[in-house]
Structure 1
C-alpha cells in the first residue's frame, strides 16, 4: 500500500477538501437538472411502490411485525439526524448514509438492509429519484402506513458520490470510545465544536447513558446538548424521541460480538452488506439492547408516553449485555401490556426503556413536556409532525428549494424565509444611477468591500443558509458580530439606508431597490474601482432581485453558529479562545473555503485580492503587502514570495509575523498565518507563483472578479 502525503506528514494542511468544489463528481454530468427530473415523478406512484416493498417480507431479512416501517423510520432518522447547526454539515442531503464512514457506523447497524430493500424502487425511477429523497420519503411513508399524519415532504436532495471529507467527526480513532477529548474540560454535555453526536459512530447519544453507564442526569445533559446543536428546543426534542420510539423495537438478542464486520470491512462476497450473523439462531442483533417500547409497535398512539410516565423503571443488563430499563417491581412487570414478538405473533415481549428515555422522565423540563403530551394527544401528534418535518428538511435551506406536491404552504423561521418583492427591481439605468450615488457617498473602498463580504460570506453550501439575500447583516445577531466591526458597520449601513430611502422616494414608478441589493452593488463598485486603479477596466456582474428580511423572519439563536471565530479572508484572528477541534488558523480558512464551495484556485485569488484591496479586519496593515493598498494588484503574491524579505513570529503562538528586509534588517511588513501559508505550503505556493508572475496580475484580476461574483450570488437559488 502506498502512503498518502497526509499519512507521511499528518500536520500537512489538507487542501483536498476543496478539490471536490472544482471537479464534476456526479455521474449524470453537470447539465443534468435533478429538480426538473424530480418534478416529472408521480409521487403517489412512488409512495405506493415504497409501501409495497415495506410490507413484502424477505427471507434474507424478515420484517418485524410484517412491516419494514420501523426500520425505514430509523433509516430516515439516522440519515437526517447527523445534521448540526455549528457548520451545517451532514444531514439527509447527499444520502451520505450510503457512503463511509456513515455507512459503517455502529449506530447504523443493518440500515444497509433497509437501503437494499429499497433498491428496486431506486432502479425503477433512476435519476429522477435521488437516494437522499428516497430515504427520507420512505420514512414518511412508513409513518403514514402506521397511522400517523405527517406534515409533508419535499424533494430536492441531490446525491453525493464521494464521502464528505470536510466533516470533522471527532478526535477518536475507534468507534464508540469514551474519549473525554470530545468534551470541553471533559464535562458531559459540553461538546467541542463542531461536533453534535456525543459518541463517535453514534447519531446522537449513547442509549445506555454517558460512557455506557445508566446516568440519568448526564444522559439528559447530553440529550439537551445534542438536540440543541440540531436547533431543536425541549418540546421538539421530546416529540422526536417519543414519536420515534412509538414504533418498532431494538434488537439485542445476543452479544454484539456475534455480529460480523461492518460493510466497509466485510468480505467481497457479501456485496456491500455488513454485520452478518445467524439471526435465525440468535435473533436479530443491532445493538446490545432488546425489546419494544410499547404494546403496539406498528401503530401511532401514546403508548410510549403512557408507559414511561405510568411505571417506575429500574436499570438492568439485557440479553445483549447492555444497560436497559424494565418496570421496577415484579407486579409492574406482570401488569404492563406486552407486545407481540417481532417474528412470532404467538409469543410476546415485555416493553423496555433506554437510559435516554428514562432521563426524559427525570428531567424537570422534559417531564413537563411529556405530561402535556399525555394529557393532550393531539398536541403530541402536531409536535412530532412539525419536529419530524424540521428534522428531515433542516439541511435543505430556504423553502424555494423544496420540490413536490406535498410541500406545505406554511414557511418556517428555520427556513430563513425571504419576502417576495412587491415592487419592480432595478434595471440597467437604475443600477448606473445607484453606482454613481454610492461613489458620491461618504464610503471608502474598504467600507464597500468589507460590508459586502460580511453579508455574503455568511453563506454555507452545507445547508444553504446565510448569504447576502435578506440583508440580515443589519439584524441581530449579525450586526453585532465582532468580525463585522459593529460600530463601523453601523455607520456604513446608515449611509446605505439613506441612499436607499433617497432613491426609493424619488421614484414615480414601482421600481425600488432593497438594502440587500445595494450592499452587494456597493461591493461591486469597490472592486471595479480597485481594478481601475490597477489599470484594468472590469465590470462585475450584478443581478438584482434580493429582498430584505425582517427580524420576525430571522431565527437569531440558530444564526449564532454562523458567526466567524476567525476569518482568513479579512485577516480576522478572533480571540483564540476556541472550544473546538480545529488546531490552526489556516485549517479554519480552508474549512470556510469549503463551506463557500471554493476551489484552491478561488481561495488563493480571493485572499490575494482582498489583501490588495486592504479589506482587513479593523483596517490593519496585516497581510496588506503593498505600497498601493486599494488597487487590485498582485503585490501580495509578489512581496510574499520575494526572497529579499525574511519572516519572524511575533509571539509563541505564531499567529502574527513580522517581515524584515534581509539587507537592512528593517521591518517592512506584518502578516498572519493566513498569509504565510500561501508561501509555506507547497500546493498554495504553486498557485501563488502563477499570480506573482509578471503576467499574473491580469489573471488575478480576472479570477478575483469571477470568484467575487460567485460568493455574492451563492444564495441566489432563483438564478439557477
Structure 2
C-alpha cells in the first residue's frame, strides 16, 4: 500500500503515542465480547467474582465485631429523624420518606427466589446493574442517596444491605406498624452480579403498554394464563424481566385481575410466600405511600447504568417541571390507596372491598382503577396543599378481590385488624431476612424479639459435653469398621454437605436432614440409606459405651473424612483431614419439606447425576451450565471445582455407583489417574447417541472401549480454562498437590454451613 503520510503502519508508530486508549482506534465499549463471539462458551470466570481482590475491607475484616460497636437505638433514632426531614432535591411525599424507603427495602429483598436462593437484600445488590437499573426499581437510587449521610457516619460498621433493611423497619415503625424484629449481619457485595440468570426476554418500559406486542418476546412462561399447564420457568420468580413481582397493570398490561391473581400466586410462591403471606405483604405494603405516574415512560431519562457520567450514578431524569415532587413518575400509575398514606391502618382493605372500581388511565397512560362512587374517600395530594385526589387501585390490587382464596384471607384480615397486623409484621420479617440463612447469623439486640420460625430451618441446641480428640479418633475407627466402603462413606458425606447453597445459606450437613424427608427419599441420595443406618448404630453404641452424645450429622461428615484419609493412604500419602465437631440433629417437625424440596437437584455433576426430566426442567440448558452453577453456589474456585470433581470420581462417588466418568482402575485410591486419562491423547471420545450426554473413550490404535463419561466429565478436558487446571495435576509432580488440595476443598465443603464457628467474615482460612 502506498503511504502518502496520512496513513500509519499498524505495526509501527513514529513519535509519541496518543493519550489514553486513542491509539487502539475505536471505543472499548463497541468491541465484541467473548460472549458475542462464542455464546455457548462456559463462563468459568464467574466462579471468581466478588472475591477478595474486589473487597476494600480485606479478608480480616470482622463485620460482627464492627456491627457490635453500633448503638442500634441511637441509629434508629437518626434514621427516623432523616425520614421526616425533607430535602429540596428530592422532596418527601407527605413530608415523610417512610413509604419510599419501605419500597426500597421491599424491592431489595423481593428479588429473592426459592429455586436457587439467589436474590434478596443480603448483599445490597440493588446498588449495581442490572438490578439497580431495572424499570421496577425506578428512583430507588434516590432513596439510597438520601441515606448516604448515615452510611458515612457509621462507615463499614454498617453495611448498605443492613442499612436498607433497617431503614425499611424504621419507616414502618414510624408509621405505626410494630415490626417483628431486625437481624443485622448482611455483608455487602463489591461488584455487580452478572452470573445470575434473570430471564430470557428484554423488558422495555417504553413498550410496557402495548399489550400483546410483548407476548412474542416473553419466553419465561409455559402455557397460557388460566390453563392448567401455565407456569414459570425455573429458577425464575418474577413475572417479567426487570420486575420484582408482577406487572401491576395485569399480565402484559391487559387489565385482567384474575390473570393478575394467577401471576401473583406463582411469583409469590416462587419467592417462598404462601397465600396468607402474599395478601399480608400486598395489603400491608399498599397501606402506605403512593404510586407515581405523571410523565410517560418515553419521556423519562435513562437508568443509572446508562445515564451520562455527570449524573453521578443517578438515573431516570425527569425533564418535566421540577422533575420530582408532584411531577414524579416511577412505574406510571398515579395515586394513593388510602386517605392517610403515612399511617398504619386497615383502610386499604376497607376501600378495596367497600367500593366498586372502574378502569381509568394515569397521566402517564398507565392502566389503573378508580372508585365508581363519587362519594368515596379522597386522598390528599402528596405535594399540593389542599388538593384532594381520587383513590387508586392497581389491577394487582383488584386481583385480591376476585381470587376466591385471596378474598378469603382479605376478609379474615378485615374482620381482625390485630391478626392482619401480626401477619404483615411476620411476612415483612420473612421477606427481609429470608436469604440470611440460620438465625445464629443474625446480629443485634432485636434478634431475640422473633421466635424460631420454620422458614429459618431451625436447629436445636447441642446437648451434652462436646467431643474431644479421643472421642473423634474412636468414632473415626468405628465408622470405618461398619463395613461401608470408602466410596459409600465419601458419597454420603458429600451428599449431606453439598445441599448447601451460599445464595441463601440453606442446606448443608448440619442438622442431619439427609436422614429426613424429603432428602432421604431423593433418587440421587439412595446410596446414602444403608450408610445412614450403619452410622445410627455407631451413634447408639457410642452413647451406650461412653455416656456421651454424638450427632448423626457429625458422624456422616466424620465417616467421609475417615474415608478420604484411607483413600490418600492407599495412594501412598499419609494425611489428616480436618474435622470440626459440633453439628446437631434437627427433627422432621422442624424441617419445611416443601421448601427443602426446592433443593432437590435436577443435575449434579459432582455425583454425575442427570434427572431423566432434565430437558423438561431446564429446556435448552446444557448440563455443564448447571454444574457450573452448582460450583458457584458452593463458593468454589475453578481449581477447587476441578480438584473436587476429580477426587469424587477417583473415590467412586457417582450417584448410582456406576463407573461412568471414573477414569481409573483404582477406585477408592486418591490418585491423579482421572486427570491423566481425561487428557490422554491416545483416546478418542465419541457420543453414545444423538443426545450427546454420555460418551465412550476408545483407544485410537485398536478402537477398544476404555472408559465412559458424561458431559460433566469431558467438560474439564474441552474447556480451555479448566483443561489448563487439569494439566497442573496430570503431570508427574501432581500427586502430592492433588491430595493436599483435595483435602482442603473437602474440608471447605464440609464446613460451608458452619456459621456457628465461621462467624461473619466473607473470606476465611478455607478460601485462602
How does the TM-score come out when normalised to structure 2? 0.91
**Aligned equivalent of 1:345:** 385
**Pair 1:379-2:408 in alignment:** no
Aligned to 2:571: 534
After the TM superposition, which of the residue ranges 416-425 and 642-651 deviates more from structure 2?
A: 416-425
Asked if residue 503 in structure 1 is aligned to residue 542 in structure 2, the reply is yes
Structure 2 matches for 1:608-687, cutoff 5 A? 608-687=646-725
Rounded to whole Å, the distance in 1 between the matches of 2:55 and 2:385 is 46
Change beyond 3 A, Cα 1:150–1:206: same
Aligned residues: 712
Note the C-alpha offset of 1:187: 5.1
Cα shift at 1:613: 0.6
Between 164-173 and 616-625, the greater mean CA deviation after superposition? 164-173
Whole-angstrom CA distance in 2 between matches of 1:21 and 1:218: 39
Query: Equivalent residue for 2:106?
Result: 77
Query: Is the CA contact (8 Å cut-off) linking 2:551 and 2:584 kept in structure 1?
Result: yes
Q: Distance in 2 between matches of 1:490 and 1:459?
A: 19
The equivalent position to 1:712 in structure 2, one of 750, 760, 763, is: 750
CA contact (8 A) 2:651 2:669 kept: yes
| 1:109 CA displacement | 0.6
Q: How does 1:174-253 map to 2 (within 5 A)?
A: 174-175=203-204, 178=215, 179-185=217-223, 190-253=231-294
> What are the superposed Cα offsets for residues 489-519 of structure 1, whole Å, 9 maximum, x if unpaired?
22221111111011111124xx311000000
Is 1:405 aligned to residue 449 of structure 2? no
Asked whether the 8 Å contact 2:500–2:506 carries over to 1, the reply is yes
Query: Quick check: 1:305 aligned with 2:345?
Result: no
Secondary structure of the corresponding residue to residue 736 of structure 2: helix
2:595 counterpart of 1:566: no
- Per the TM alignment, residue 172 of structure 1 is displaced from its structure 2 partner at its CA by 1.7
Are 1:103 and 2:141 an aligned pair?
no
Q: Is the 8 A contact 1:194 1:580 kept in 2?
A: no
Deviation of 1:483 after TM superposition, in Å, equals 1.1
* Candidates 425, 428, 448, aligned match of 2:469: 428
Select 1:137's aligned residue among 166, 171, 177.
166
Aligned counterpart, 1:126: 155
Give, in whole Å, the separation in 2 of the partners of 1:383 and 1:279. 41
Aligned to 1:455: 496
Q: Distance in 2 between matches of 1:577 and 1:514?
A: 38
Instruction: Find the aligned partners of 1:306 and 1:114 in 2 and give their Cα distance.
Output: 30
Q: CA deviation at 1:232?
A: 0.7
Q: How does 1:437-452 map to 2 (within 5 A)?
A: 437-452=478-493
Please state if 1:524 is matched with 2:561: yes
**Mapped pair 1:583 → 2:621:** yes
2:507 paired residue number: 466
CA distance in 2 between partners of 1:350 and 1:580 (Å): 46
Q: Deviations over 1:644-688 (max 9, x none)?
A: 110100111111000101001111110000000111110000000
Name 1:35's counterpart in structure 2.
64
User: In structure 1, what is the equivalent of residue 7 of structure 2?
Assistant: none
SS at match of 1:551: coil
1:421 Cα deviation from its structure 2 partner: 1.0
Question: CA-to-partner distance for each residue in 1:176-223, whole Å, 9 max, x for gaps?
Answer: 554331112465751101100111111000000011111122111110
Distance, in Å, in 2 between the alignment partners of 1:685 and 1:38 is 43
Partner of 2:397: 357
Correspondence 1:16 to 2:45:
yes
> Is 1:554 aligned to residue 554 of structure 2?
no
Please point out which of 407, 413, 418 is paired with 1:367: 407
| Alpha-carbon distance between aligned partners in 2 of 1:502 and 1:686, rounded to the nearest angstrom | 48
Output aligned runs, 1:61-72, within 5 Å: 61-72=90-101
Distance 1:52 1:21 in 2: 34
> Alignment partner of 1:506: what SS?
helix
For the residues of structure 2 that align with 1:255 and 1:436, how far apart are their CA atoms? 72
**Corresponding residue of 2:145:** 116
Mapped contact 1:175–1:200 kept (Cα < 8 A): no
Distance across 2 between alignment mates of 1:443 and 1:547:
23
- Tell me which residue corresponds to 2:358: 314
**Deviation per residue, 1:98-120 (Å, 9 max, x gap):** 11111111001111110000000
- Do the aligned partners of 2:333 and 2:366 also contact (CA within 8 Å) in 1? yes
Mapped partners of 2:529, 2:272: distance in 1: 29
Q: Which residue of 2 aligns with 1:326?
A: 370
3-state DSSP class of the match of 1:632?
coil
Match of 2:6 in 1: none
Question: How well do the aligned residues superpose, as a CA RMSD in angstroms?
Answer: 1.3
CA–CA separation in structure 1 for the residues paired with 2:288 and 2:203: 31
Q: Which residue is 1:595 aligned to?
A: 633
Query: What's the CA shift for 1:409?
Result: 4.5
CA distance in structure 1 between the partners assigned to 2:224 and 2:47 by the alignment: 32
Matched, 1:153 2:153: no
Match of 2:308 in 1: 267
Q: Distance in 2 between matches of 1:193 and 1:172?
A: 14
Using the alignment, how far apart are the partners of 2:233 and 2:143 within structure 1?
32
Task: Give me the whole-angstrom Cα distance separating, in 1, the residues matched to 2:321 and 2:433.
Answer: 34
Distance 2:60 2:708 in 1: 46
Using the TM superposition, give the Cα deviation of residue 173 of structure 1 relative to its aligned residue in structure 2, in angstroms: 3.6
User: How far, CA to CA, are the matches of 1:456 and 1:654 in structure 2?
Assistant: 30
Contact 2:225 2:259 (C-alpha < 8 Å) held by counterparts: no
Whether the aligned pair in 2 keeps the contact of 1:194 and 1:581 (CA below 8 Å) is no
Mapped partners of 1:22, 1:279: distance in 2: 44
d(CA) in 1 for partners of 2:515 and 2:71? 43
- Alpha-carbon deviation of 1:168? 0.7
Match of 2:727 among 671, 678, 689: 689
Distance 1:21 1:197 in 2: 25
Secondary structure at the aligned position of 2:656 is classed as helix
The 4+ residue runs of structure 1 with deviation greater than 6 A are: none
- Cα pair 2:239 2:245 within 8 Å, conserved: yes
Partner of 1:619, secondary structure, is: coil
Query: Using the alignment, how far apart are the partners of 2:633 and 2:261 within structure 1?
Result: 32
Equivalent residue for 2:516, pick from 452, 472, 475: 475
Gaps of 5+ in 1: none
Deviates more, 1:269-278 or 1:290-299: 269-278
Residue 581 (structure 1) shift: 6.2
* Aligned-residue offset at 1:426: 1.4
CA shift, 1:580, in A, is 3.5
Structure 1 residues 355 and 409: alpha-carbon distance in aligned structure 2, compared to 1, 3 A threshold: closer
Q: Does 1:491 align with 2:533?
A: no
Residue 279 (structure 1) shift: 4.5
Whole-Å Cα distance in 2 between the matches of residues 251 and 288 of structure 1? 6
Q: Which residue of 2 aligns with 1:86?
A: 115
